[in-house]
Amino acid sequence: MTLPASGAISFSNIDTELGYSATAQIGLNCSSVRTLFGQASGAICMNTGHGKSNTSVPGAPTGVSASATSCSAISVSFSAPASNGGLSIDYYQVVCTSSGSNSATGSSSPVSVTGLSASTSYTFKVRAHNSKGYGCYSSSTGTATTSVATGSQSYTSSGSYTFTAPTGVTSVSVVAVGIGGSGGCVYISYGCCGTYRRGGAGGGGAALVYRNNYSVTPSNNYAATIGNCTYFINTSTLWAVGGGPSNPGYPQGGATGGRGGIGGGDCYVLGSSGVVNSGGGGGAAGYSGICGNYGQGGGQGAGNAGQTGHNGGGGGGGLGLSGNIGGGGGGVGIYGQGTSGSGGGCGSPGFAGNGGSSGSNGSGKNGGSYGGGGAGQGGNYPGSLISAGSGGSGAIRIVWPGSSRSFPSTSVGSP
């Protein structure tokens, strides 16, 4: 293009020289035109539709940066362009450089782009808009990776399961509760002084253990097993012992990790008849308390109310009001400290600790979920006997990301 020897050059002259229509937007790298507009290097972006006007589209925003605010949103920040084109900027448009469908607009910095995929990297550029139209995109860009989606997986019935680490998940936190011990049967013994009729001992409460921020590999499979031993991957990684089964006349309890409460001892009568009272079940262990990181469950009940659970399920009542059978031990929750599991309690109820549950007076010989011990067998003898209570079910709960969700805090609630 030839510039005149003197005088001003209009936009219409540039249109004519370059063969553009009067509404075209052009990007020029001609050194002469850059000199004319006082720009040392780079492309010149201008709207030539109004050759005699002193207004134009805005310049390009600068200083673009990005940061993730969730698993589905990124905030993009930037500085306003040096020139607004002589008109007010009405909004900015943020566009993903790899996917034009991920865009957003806003009146000022920052602008939030939503609807993104978790654990994914995105790069954005920005341009400004006024009544003349869009200006050039920013030469700088901002890149950020969305955070890992929050999630959980719970297993609450006996069996073997396979947990597959989700995409983007590199750490998990896990809690495991063993199965509560079942109540024992009436025991008959003979001695020099006659026949003894012993009520069944209560089943022991199960252990509760947890592990935070355990490293996993996305898409890899990991074992989760609920049974006599409840464990995640293997017994070296995370192992919760179930409540001890009740031998005749001998209370049992969980023995590893957070210790469950001991089932109530038997009560007995001498002779061939009489009331046979059984022991209440032991409460499941809790998340914290007198056993280090994992609280001991409520204690035995034999003729008395179950003891208060030390941040675990309450012990079952020892002397039942219906059929002379103890109450089931209270269970413990798997959603973090302070959330109750269901409890038992025939007779005087067990008491609740944090994460545990009290029994209800007059019902509930079975152990509460999760991990409460069952009540022992009792009743009138001779005559009908009342069956012993079964232990509460075990459970495993896995939450992610483990780096920010840890037991026993409330951050491990649903999802």
Domain ranges of the chain: 11-47, 62-145, 148-415
Low-confidence ranges of the chain (pLDDT < 70): 1-53, 190-197, 245-278, 288-325, 337-364, 379-383
pLDDT in tens, 20-32: 555 444 445 555 5
Q: Quick one: pLDDT at residue 337?
A: 63
% helix / strand / coil in the chain, to the nearest 5?
A: 5, 30, 65
What does the alpha-carbon distance between residue 82 and residue 85 come to, in Å, rounded to a whole number? 9
Residue 302 confidence (pLDDT): 44
CA separation for the pair 299, 271 (Å, rounded):
29
What are the DSSP calls for 240-308, one per residue? EEPPPPPBTTB-----SSBPPPPPPPP-EEESS-EEE--PBPPPPP-SSSSSTTS------BSSSPPPB
pLDDT attached to residue 228:
78
Q: Is the dihedral of CA 223, 229, 235, 238 positive or negative?
A: positive
The pLDDT assigned to 145 comes to 92
pLDDT digits (tens, 9 = 90+) for 35-46: 555 555 554 555
pLDDT on residue 173? 95
- Alpha-carbon torsion, ordered 213, 216, 219, 225, to 10 deg: -90
Report pLDDT for 218.
Answer: 92
CATH topology of domain 62-145: Immunoglobulin-like (2.60.40)
pLDDT at 292: 43
